[in-house]
Amino acid sequence: MKPYLGTVFGLGLLFAPIAAQAAEAKVLLDVHHAGCVFCGPIVKSTLEHVKGVSSVSVSQPDGIADVTASVRYDDGQTSPQALIKATTDQGYPADISKKTSG
């Protein structure tokens, strides 16, 4: 019985990283009311502090008061709705972008 359990445990450890990678997702958010020089970095920092976020890049493609945030995250730990709530709670309402994330 013990050798069988060791084999099952070993296989679980082998496949765990594969399952963890499969959960990575990406979302592109349009973040509003972020036109000042400090807004982009605040939005980026806010999103980076959400549990499960692995990377964030923020740009202001149109030179207007909205920024675009590209966020990679573990969909087992967070969701686009949680990311939107995080920025909205900081005063920057957001929604999922209709642009392609490329």
Does residue 55 belong to any structural domain of this protein? yes
Per-residue pLDDT of the chain (102 residues; tens, 9 = 90+): 555 555 555 555 555 555 555 589 999 999 999 988 889 999 999 999 999 999 999 998 766 778 999 999 999 999 999 999 999 999 999 999 988 655
Instruction: Specify if 14 maps to a domain.
Output: no
Number of H helices, E strands in the chain: 3, 4
Q: Is 2 a member of any domain?
A: no
Task: Assess if residue 6 is contained within a domain.
Answer: no
Domain holding 51, by residue range, is: 23-96
- Is residue 86 in some structural domain? yes
Residue 85 domain-assigned?
A: yes
The CATH number assigned to the domain holding 80 equals 3.30.70.100
Q: Which of 92, 10, 21, 9 is nearest to 58 (CA)?
A: 92
Sequence letter at residue 80: P
Is residue 5 included in any domain, yes or no?
no
Number of domains present in the structure of the chain: 1
Does 36 reside within a domain?
yes
For tokens 């013990």, the residue is 2
